[in-house]
């Protein structure tokens, strides 16, 4: 599961902004809603990898927050308040937010957890770089667009009374299309870290190849599709091939 710990930057020289943060994140799909955990910090349990991505990027857009995303176990029953939660996901979130404070010029975000966490962090920080540096004028346009919806740019131009070319330029300049193309990749990597599995678009999952599937030369086994594994440069081998062991497993749900 996922835990987000979000700490206010420069709080000693600023007003308490946690109430604004809680309002900002109010619409995110949560298992346990965000609430103040201690001081100028908030914590919550997102309901899915996609919700974790959404919350993290909302914080980066607003600015002034350190975002720590932890992946791991949470003791059951799930807590009614994040302040009552225990488990490795909470420990990872604490480590992540502390590391986010030391990212320098990068997006102030870190992800801690099992294998896959570092890769998810890499994608999120790349997206976050674009989100953080957009101007108000760009957001004025982007907030009127719907990802993947044909004609939304024309509709936004008409609503704002500007030329469609101006909308197109704002979209290209802000990497808005690239952001929405990369969000699913970030969520997929978070699910990999959480479950050890990567779901394909059809809803099945291909499990990471066990270490004993490497051949004598040390070639890695890589997943190409559900129920199918290959050796780099070789032909697909069905899961459960003799002497190889299963290379794919059934996916459990995202939530």
**Whether this model's pTM surpasses 0.85:** no
Residues 155 and 122 in one domain: no
At residue 34 the predicted structure's pLDDT band, cuts being 50, 70 and 90, is very high
Asked if residue 248 belongs to a domain, the reply is no
Residues 7 and 128 in one domain: yes
How far does Cα 179 stand from its chain's mean position? 12
Asked if residue 249 belongs to a domain, the reply is no
Residues 142 and 156 in one domain: yes
Phi-psi region of 123 (alpha: psi -120 to 50; beta: other; left: phi over 0): alpha
Among 84-93, 165-174, 192-201, the least confident range: 192-201
**Residues making up the chain, counted from first to last:** 255
The residues facing 231 across adjacent strands are 221
Residues 154 and 48 in one domain: no
Q: What was the pLDDT predicted at 148?
A: 83
Asked if residue 113 belongs to a domain, the reply is yes
Residues 213 and 88 in one domain: no
Asked if residue 58 belongs to a domain, the reply is yes
In this predicted model, what pLDDT tens digit does every residue of 179-227 receive, in sequence order?
Answer: 999 999 999 999 999 998 766 544 444 444 433 333 333 333 333 333 3
Number of domains the chain is built from: 3
Domain with 47, as residue range(s), is 2-133+177-194
Mean per-residue pLDDT, 89-113: 96
Nearest-10 Cα torsion for 64, 58, 191, 145: -150
Q: What's the rounded Cα separation, in Å, for the pair 41 and 110?
A: 16
Residues 116 and 186 in one domain: yes
Asked if residue 244 belongs to a domain, the reply is no
Higher-pLDDT residue of 16, 226: 16
Residues 53 and 19 in one domain: yes
b/e map 95-126, b = 16+ CB within 10 Å: bbbebbeeeeeebbbbbbbeebbebbbebbbb
Residues 152 and 218 in one domain: no
Asked if residue 164 belongs to a domain, the reply is yes
């Amino acid at each position: 599961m996922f835990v987000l710990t979000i700490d206010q930057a420069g709080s000693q020289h600023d007003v308490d902004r946690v109430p604004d943060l809680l309002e900002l994140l109010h619409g995110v799909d949560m298992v346990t809603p965000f609430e103040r955990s201690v001081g100028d910090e908030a914590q919550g349990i997102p309901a899915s990898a996609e919700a974790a991505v959404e919350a993290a990027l909302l914080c980066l857009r607003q600015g002034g927050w350190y975002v720590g995303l932890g992946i791991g176990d949470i003791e059951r029953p799930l807590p009614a308040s994040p302040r009552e939660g225990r488990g490795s996901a909470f420990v990872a979130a604490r480590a992540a937010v502390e590391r986010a404070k030391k990212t320098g010029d990068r997006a102030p975000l870190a992800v801690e957890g099992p294998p896959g966490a570092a890769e998810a962090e890499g994608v999120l920080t790349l997206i976050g770089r674009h989100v953080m540096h957009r101007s108000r004028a760009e957001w004025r346009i982007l907030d009127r667009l719907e990802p993947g919806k044909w004609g939304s740019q024309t509709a936004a131009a008409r609503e704002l009374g500007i030329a469609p070319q101006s909308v197109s330029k704002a979209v290209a300049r802000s990497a808005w299309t690239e952001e929405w193309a990369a969000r699913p990749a970030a969520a997929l990597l978070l699910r990999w870290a959480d479950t050890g599995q990567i779901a394909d678009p059809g809803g099945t999952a291909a499990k990471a190849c066990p270490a004993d599937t490497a051949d004598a030369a040390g070639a890695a086994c890589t997943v190409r599709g559900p129920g199918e594994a290959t050796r780099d440069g070789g032909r697909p081998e069905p899961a459960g091939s003799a002497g190889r062991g299963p290379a794919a497993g059934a996916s459990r749900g995202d939530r």
